[in-house]
Structure 1
Amino acid sequence: MADLVFIGLSITSSWGNGHATTYRGLVKNLARRGHRVTFFERDVPWYAENRDLPNPPYCRTVLYRSLAELEQLGRAAISAADAVIVGSYVPEGVAVGEWAIATASGPVAFYDIDTPVTLAKLDRGDGEYLTPDLVRRYDLYLSFTGGPTLERLRELGSPRPAALYCAVDPDVHMPLPVPRRWRLGYLGTYSPDRQPALEALLVEPARLMPRDAFVVAGPQYPRDLAWPANVQHIPHLAPTEHARFYCGQDFTLNITRADMRAAGYSPSVRLFEAAACGVPIVSDWWQGLDTIFAIGSEILVAGSAEEMAEILARTSDDERRQIARAARTRVLNEHTACHRARELEALIRTALETESRSRRPAAMAR
């Protein structure tokens, strides 16, 4: 059993961010494995107004309004913790990281849920929540991106970079007996760099297939965006509704942000969620996708509206179900939040064993 402290973007609100879903699954499974978790979250208006899980039952949640209040409320917990994990996009993240490193007696990790975006920021000299100095000072760099990016992090001076991919919570995402309403759907917050792919892989196929129904769910899409008549837009979908949403589709679309597509080895949590729900996925291509799923038998790939229309028109129901079953099996065997909790335990245990710390490494041994 260990005392773990997270300082993350949000665990109480999934509004316009994918961090909350990741933290909820990971923290819940750490708690199931006997660890005590405290989660510190900046109390900001846009999350305060849209809290879909204000009091997670598997951790102690502490809201703070400023860096000074975090220092006041968190000093005792962080100084006593076996390990501290600071997340990406935390407001005043550089100051938070420096304070956590100075205060903690155990290892301090940076949990980067946005690694390619973070590295692009560093290349531009943008130190919104991380600096080159902090890359070197964090004991662990936990990255949502694997592959060559880990070598890049070593070159930047990280003493211990490691991939800790996103994951799915199978307690939440599972096949449900709901009517299929849409031929193809997409779940994701609006992003200018993803929009051209959404236009090509969903909007244009919808125009080519006017008798079929399509759907896009997610916030922040421009109000003046003109959707075809057969494309429904749902402005926000709570995580509790994701499974029903996926299971209402014949196929679901995955689109990768430009920075993550360029880096490769950056699976989206939406991939794992849809697969766990038993829904076949059509994705854009990026390097490393074939290390996550087998192309053709566990996932399909499209690069144009014509390729997508061909998949939708030609894939039989038997093929669709077979692909969905194979992807679900892969995810349940390798990519659940329980798998990630065990991986995090092992990484922290290694850090405890190799760093000269005052706290005992046996805390993470289970």
Structure 2
Amino acid sequence: MHIAFFGSSLVSAYWNGAATYYRGIIRALSERGHTTTFYEPDAFDRQAHRDLDDPDWAESVVYEPTEADAARMLERAAGADLVVKASGVGVLDEYLEREVLRLQAPGTLVAFWDVDAPATLDRVQTDAADPFSPLVPQYDLVLTYGGGPPVVDAYRALGARDCVPIYNALDPTTHHPAPPDPRFEGGLGLLANRLPDREARILDFFYGAAERLPDESFLLGGSGWAEHAPDLANVRTLGHVAVPDHNAFNCTPRAVLNVSRESMARYGFSPATRVFEAAGAGACLITDAWEGVDLFLEPGREVLVAEGGADVAEHLAALTPERARDIGDAALRRMLAEHTYAHRAAVLENVLEGVGV
């Protein structure tokens, strides 16, 4: 099977939280004998911040963010077994969502792959004139990287022929246990770009915990915080942390924190990439509470769950290095047994076989 994939970026994780997900799925599909051409626009300075050389498991094609150049890419993609338009390309989304449907043909299916279904659904449900809504029934398939029953039901209500979650997962070749790094020493670490849908929750879960534990050290990695974060003496902001440093970041503090965006927490069943990265590194993970967490990790044994900053502080204050290691080891075993991208690729193959690919 050959896949033509229109997404944000495969080769750069800069302001591109879906990069790890794309890489994991596409690499796993390659290992199962499929080929992928990934079409990404030269936008948002991502190509200047590449953190992945052109891989041997996919072809990366960079195009100018103009309709004329995107049209050339669509012509090139014609005849693929599966054409994917991912959400959140960031430029020309409306154009691509409409134009990829012209590639439907005998032997070519077109799917919409939503990497931020809560945001997409909130948008179309509040704007009757949203141009994506009438396109949903025309796609052969809608795939999502999370959301569970609430997202599936919402897409079917919009007329989707089918909607199947392909959840985030672990790529053990890129995220795995690593030696501690003195740059990331501390009690609690968090990797999260500053986004409007997550900022208030980080101020609660992360900064709220830091205020309650002034003698504990906290690390915040991610873009956008330097001029906006509260000034606390026990918090260090690190700026963008490149993917190759994620393993060391996850393995050095006593625990790492996951804070979901508000919409993803509300829909539930939407574990962020960070959950799998951290657990795959054997880190002790503290996550905000959301429905469905127990489908991926067992609370209290493989992950610690918090309702807010007070809970995070309580977990961290009681967390011995020994218990942190036990939780991290249990999480890693669960990831390898059930939640790798190889598992997700097998699910995707079964789905595609059911719709004729």
Assess if the C-alpha contact under 8 Å between 1:31 and 1:58 holds in 2: yes
What residue number does 2:151 align with?
149
CA distance in 2, matches of 1:73, 1:307: 49
Number of the residue aligned with 2:186: 182
**1:83-102 C-alpha deviation (Å, 9 max, x unpaired):** 11110012222321222221
Secondary structure of 2:187's counterpart equals: strand
Q: CA RMSD in A?
A: 1.8
> How much has 1:127 moved relative to structure 2?
7.4
Residue 223 of structure 1 corresponds to: 227
Secondary structure, counterpart of 1:193 in structure 2: helix
Q: Which residue of structure 2 lines up, in the alignment, with residue 294 of structure 1?
A: 298
Q: Share of identical aligned residues, percent?
A: 33
Q: TM-score, normalised by structure 1?
A: 0.90
> Which residue type is aligned with residue 151 of structure 1?
D
Does the residue aligned with 2:113 lie in a helix, a strand or coil?
A: strand
Distance 1:279 1:253 in 2: 10
Query: Is the 1:17–1:189 contact (alpha carbons within 8 Å) kept by the matching residues of 2?
Result: no
Is the 1:4–1:81 contact (alpha carbons within 8 Å) kept by the matching residues of 2?
yes
CA spacing shift, 1:176–1:127, aligned 2, 3 Å: farther
Describe how 1:261-276 pairs up with structure 2 within 5 A: 261-276=265-280
Q: Count residues with an aligned counterpart.
A: 350
Is the counterpart of residue 131 in structure 1 residue 132 in structure 2?
yes
Alignment of 1:15-54 (within 5 A): 15-54=14-53
- Tell me, what secondary structure is at the counterpart of 1:40? strand
2 CA distance for matches of 1:169 and 1:336? 6
Q: How far apart are residue 290 of structure 1 and its match?
A: 1.9
Structure 2 spans left out of the alignment, 5+ residues: none
In structure 1, the partner of 2:347 is 343
Amino acid corresponding to residue 276 of structure 2 in structure 1: F
**Alpha-carbon separation, structure 1, partners of 2:56 and 2:347:** 22
Q: Matched residues in 1 for 2:128 and 2:242: separation?
A: 32
Contact 2:121 2:154 in 1 (8 A): no
Where structure 1 has 5 or more consecutive residues not aligned to the other structure, the ranges are 353-360, 362-366
Give the counterpart of 1:242 among 246, 250, 274. 246
TM-score between both structures, scaled by the size of structure 2:
0.93
> Tell me, what secondary structure is at the counterpart of 2:13?
coil
Work out whether residues 226 and 239 of structure 2, in 8 Å CA contact, stay in contact via their aligned partners in 1.
Answer: no
Map 1:49-128; keep pairs closer than 5 Å: 49-65=48-64, 66-76=66-76, 78-90=77-89, 91-105=91-105, 106-125=108-127
Q: Deviations over 1:141-170 (max 9, x none)?
A: 101221222111111100010011112211
Q: Deviations over 1:321-356 (max 9, x none)?
A: 22112211111122212222222222222111xxxx
Contact 1:121 1:127 survives alignment (8 Å): no
**1:86-141 deviation per Cα after TM superposition (whole angstroms, max 9, x unaligned):** 1001222232122222124311111100000000111232878x611221111111
Per the TM alignment, residue 284 of structure 1 is displaced from its structure 2 partner at its CA by: 1.0
Does the aligned pair in 2 maintain the 1:189–1:221 contact within 8 Å? yes
Change (3 A) 1:316 1:126: farther
Q: Is contact 2:39-2:62 (8 Å) kept?
A: yes
In structure 2, C-alpha distance between the alignment counterparts of 1:192 and 1:71, rounded to whole Å: 32
Change over 3 Å in CA distance of 1:227–1:336 after alignment to 2: farther
Decide which moves more: 306-315 or 234-243.
306-315
Distance between the aligned counterparts of 2:179 and 2:128, measured in 1?
47
